[in-house]
Amino acid sequence: MDTVRIAVVGAGLMGLSTAVCIPTLVPRCSVTVIADKFTPDTTSDVAAGILIPHAYPDTPVHKQKQWFRETFDHLFSIANSAEAGDAGVYLVSGWQIFRSMPTEEVPFWADVVLGFRKMTEAELKKFPQHVFGQAFTTLKCEGPVYLPWLEKRVKRSGGLMVPQRIEDLWELHPSFDIVVNCSGLGSRQLAGDSTIFPVRGQVLKVQAPWLKHFIRDGSGLTYIYPGTSNVTLGGTRQKGDWNLSPDAEISRDIFSRCCALEPSLHRACDIREKVGLRPSRPGIRLQKELLAQDSRRLPVVHHYGHGSGGFSMHWGTALEAARLVNECAQALGSPAPKSKL
Amino acid sequence: MKHLDQGQRPVGGRGGTMRVVVIGAGVIGLSTALCIHDRYQPVLQSLDVRVYADRFTPLTNTDVAAGLWQPYLSNPSNPQETHWNQQTFDYLLSHLHSPNAADMGLALISGYNLFHEAVPDPSWKDIVLGFRKLTPRELDMFPDYSYGWFNTSLILEGKRYLQWLTERLTERGVKFSQRKVESLEEVARGGADVIINCTGVRAGELQPDPMLQPGRGQIIKVDAPWMKHFIVTHDPERGIYRSPYIIPGIREVTLGGIFQLGNWSEVNNIQDHKSIWEGCCRLEPTLKAEIVSECTGFRPVRPQVRLERERLRFGPSNTELIHNYGHGGYGLTIHWGCALEAAKLFGEVLEERKLLRMPPSHL
């Protein structure tokens, strides 16, 4: 059988992790990643990368739990190895706090993270406006370090990176046998998907190296995530907003909300603003589609729409996407009138 | 408003001024100076506090300490020490909510204490936050260990804290004098009414103390900003601080695991370096880190802290002496409780000399 030529559209977290998974499952394939943006200019580079899952209304909970667990376990073993620094993956402990009792005191992912428990009264004293909290240890996966590390892995297994903007998936035919669509918000155009929309997130990256814990308000709107080279302060959730320029008023508001949770942030310096557009969808799209036009056929595997939960789910969904790619590859190999082309 | 009874005018030593000399500028000396000044300056006619030391930050033993708040595992022989530890933790915790925390070198930090077998919970388990046992998955991260604790504690970085204390004392007009004090008599004859002896591991040079010994430590500081947790291992056969530990500070991470009783060598030792580096890399495989510095310090080891009064007689004058030294490897952990106790002893001196009209707690 000939080498299966696979194009991955998109070089963010989904594109790169799928490009890493594919050669492990698909025998005799070549992988080419094609995108208009590469790290450090992707949406994934803006995200703090903390592993706290976001709930998808249209995806079954058992699936979310499976993907989160696969991602967590995979990153956990990297975090405990000599590769941790190169991959930008490490453990961080902290608190998720609530101003009113949450409907779910123990979320579905409680036994995936480490040491999950309710906060004690003494711990809650630090947050006088909050009545309930959860303490646990999770992982942080830093886009600007993790993505280059993934790129290296793709290249090591023979993959190619091609900087090029794709306007239509048919551009990839007939050079490629299978297309993996990891274009995030680009799928509005490339896949004609009107259910995906941006949820604008503005964050501040500041210097505050004394902070060792994450703090997240249960609403998801205010958070403090300490990283290797800076601390991410957030944030916003602005539905349908495509504006990539930072807004000064919003920055002041984010800073103020975070200082209320952690007063020592008043001493933070070197404050930088960043904006990312979360590729939001009621559910993650992990699906095969056979594009047809006249006599042309192009198998596509869609892998996009992770919204706020990209880092938390990426490895689990990338493995599933790679399985779907393998199914397509098997279908190509089976006796079908391919020779008519 | 203080009232003066007849015949009880506040009198210091000479001419109405109470002269206090603190010997030692490590965490004990500076925090005791601050505690005494803030408590008694308002109620004395005149208070003159000076700090004499031959070494100031960054050359003190406090500067070498990693700064993790954590008492020894076993109960102290003096139960007051448990109380002083608690007072220190509570005091530091109360400062956490202020914007100044980072200026003080203070931050919350969580982490792991690891053992080769099950051990009883420590007496300080209810002082720290969120104390719990480690889960099996957490223990999987440390294959050489089979039992452990997780809790949230505090980091108080020696160097930053000493700088902060120095700034606070300077604001209050406390004077610093760099000098090697050769004898207590010299300080008494120089006009001190009260001497606070915070000379740490070298207290024996001023007054022989067979119970005081150096507990030499060596540490390596690395740049490893992804490390957010402390990891302290324990080996009961080898003893405290002789097992690897990794303690992130504000910017750098301290690696250690050396404790040598009676060793006064100030030079970094290559065997110790190897032992620390290999032990810590084995414990934490991600530690492919850049070494920033390496240094040696001497824990002032004593069966218990010496915190008591003594009266000195040199010729006609009486000089009060308050000892506050011998805090071993837990000086930062216990410092504020000891400063409060030293201040209390100072208050007793003032009362005896009828220098206070009202006890400070009524004000």
pLDDT digits (tens, 9 = 90+) for B326-350: 999 999 999 999 999 999 999 999 9
Whole-angstrom Cα Rg for chain A? 21
Alpha carbon of A225: minimum distance to chain B alpha carbons (Å) = 12
In this predicted structure, the answer to whether residue A56 has a pLDDT above a threshold of 70 is yes
Q: What percent of chain A has pLDDT over 70?
A: 97
Q: Are A317 and A303 in contact (CB under 8 A)?
A: yes
A116 contacts on B by Cβ (under 8 Å)? none
- Is B228 in contact with A212 (Cβ distance < 8 A)? yes
- Is B286 in contact with A209 (Cβ distance < 8 A)? no
Instruction: Say what the ipTM of the complex is.
Output: 0.90
Q: What is the pLDDT of residue B16?
A: 67
- pTM confidence score: 0.92
Residues 6 or more apart from B335 whose CB is under 8 A from it?
A: B27, B28, B31, B88, B327
Q: What is the DSSP letter of A171?
A: G
- Is B286 in contact with A85 (Cβ distance < 8 A)? yes
Coil, strand or helix: which one is A273?
strand
Q: What is the pLDDT of residue B11?
A: 41
Residues 37-96 of B with CB under 8 A from A: 96
**Does B125 touch chain A if contact means CB atoms closer than 8 Å?**
no
pLDDT means per 10 residues, chain B with 363 residues, are 41 66 98 97 92 96 96 93 97 93 96 97 96 97 97 97 98 97 94 96 97 97 95 92 96 96 97 96 88 96 97 84 98 98 96 72 50
List the single residue in B107, B152, B285 with the smallest CB-CB distance to A210: B107
Q: What is the pLDDT of residue B353?
A: 87
- Is B138 in contact with A114 (Cβ distance < 8 A)? yes
- Is B251 in contact with A209 (Cβ distance < 8 A)? yes
A93 contacts on B by Cβ (under 8 Å)? 110, 152, 228-229
- Is B285 in contact with A81 (Cβ distance < 8 A)? yes
Q: Closest residue of B to A265, CA-based?
A: B99
- Is A213 in contact with B228 (Cβ distance < 8 A)? yes
**Does B136 touch chain A if contact means CB atoms closer than 8 Å?**
no
Q: What is the pLDDT of residue B357?
A: 57
Tokens 């071993």 locate to: B328
- Is B132 in contact with A93 (Cβ distance < 8 A)? no
**Does B248 touch chain A if contact means CB atoms closer than 8 Å?**
yes
Residues 138-157 of B with CB under 8 A from A: 138, 141, 150, 152, 155
- Is B97 in contact with A91 (Cβ distance < 8 A)? no
CA pseudo-torsion sign A183, A189, A191, A197:
positive
- Is B130 in contact with A266 (Cβ distance < 8 A)? no
Tokens 């995030």 locate to: A184
- Is B96 in contact with A84 (Cβ distance < 8 A)? no
List the single residue in A119, A122, A266 with the smallest CB-CB distance to B99: A266
Residues 198-237 of B with CB under 8 A from A: 224-229
Coil, strand or helix: which one is A143?
helix
Please give the single-letter amino acid code of residue B161. Y
Q: Which of A126, A127, A212, A255 to mutate to test the interface with B (most CBs of B within 10 A)?
A: A212
pLDDT in tens, A198-235: 999 999 999 999 999 999 999 999 999 999 999 999 99
In this predicted structure, the answer to whether residue A340 has a pLDDT above a threshold of 60 is no
- Is A263 in contact with B107 (Cβ distance < 8 A)? no
Please compute, for residue B159, the number of CA atoms within 13 A of its CA located in the half-sphere on the CB side.
Answer: 9
Q: Are B337 and B83 in contact (CB under 8 A)?
A: yes
Q: Taking the CB of residue B100, how many other CB atoms lie within 10 A of it?
A: 15
Coil, strand or helix: which one is B55?
coil
Alpha carbon of A39: minimum distance to chain B alpha carbons (Å) = 20
What CA–CA distance (Å, rounded) separates A304 from A14?
Answer: 7
Interface A-B: count of C-beta contacts within 8 A: 98
- Is B285 in contact with A119 (Cβ distance < 8 A)? no
User: How many angstroms from the chain centroid is the CA of residue A122?
Assistant: 34
Phi-psi region of A259 (alpha: psi -120 to 50; beta: other; left: phi over 0): alpha
What CA–CA distance (Å, rounded) separates A189 from A169?
Answer: 10
Name which of A243, A297, A229 is nearest A274 in CA terms: A243
Looking at B41-79, list the stretches that DSSP marks H as alpha helix, in order from N- to C-terminal side.
Answer: 61-64
Coil, strand or helix: which one is B268?
coil
B231 contacts on A by Cβ (under 8 Å)? none
- Is A123 in contact with B130 (Cβ distance < 8 A)? yes
**Does B286 touch chain A if contact means CB atoms closer than 8 Å?**
yes
pLDDT in tens, A117-157: 999 999 999 999 999 999 999 999 999 999 999 999 999 99
What CA–CA distance (Å, rounded) separates A7 from A30?
Answer: 8
What CA–CA distance (Å, rounded) separates B340 from B342?
Answer: 5
- Is B107 in contact with A212 (Cβ distance < 8 A)? yes
Name which of A137, A326, A302 is nearest B110 in CA terms: A137
List the single residue in B98, B109, B132 with the smallest CB-CB distance to A212: B109
Q: Closest residue of B to A141, CA-based?
A: B226
List the single residue in B102, B103, B285 with the smallest CB-CB distance to A82: B285
Alpha carbon of A326: minimum distance to chain B alpha carbons (Å) = 33
Q: How confident is the model at residue A1 (pLDDT cuts 50, 70, 90)?
A: low
Measured between its terminal Cα atoms, the distance across chain B in Å is: 9
- Is B130 in contact with A264 (Cβ distance < 8 A)? no
Q: Are A271 and A232 in contact (CB under 8 A)?
A: no
- Is A211 in contact with B138 (Cβ distance < 8 A)? no
- Is B107 in contact with A92 (Cβ distance < 8 A)? no
Coil, strand or helix: which one is A285?
strand
List the single residue in B224, B228, B288 with the smallest CB-CB distance to A93: B228
A81 contacts on B by Cβ (under 8 Å)? 285-286
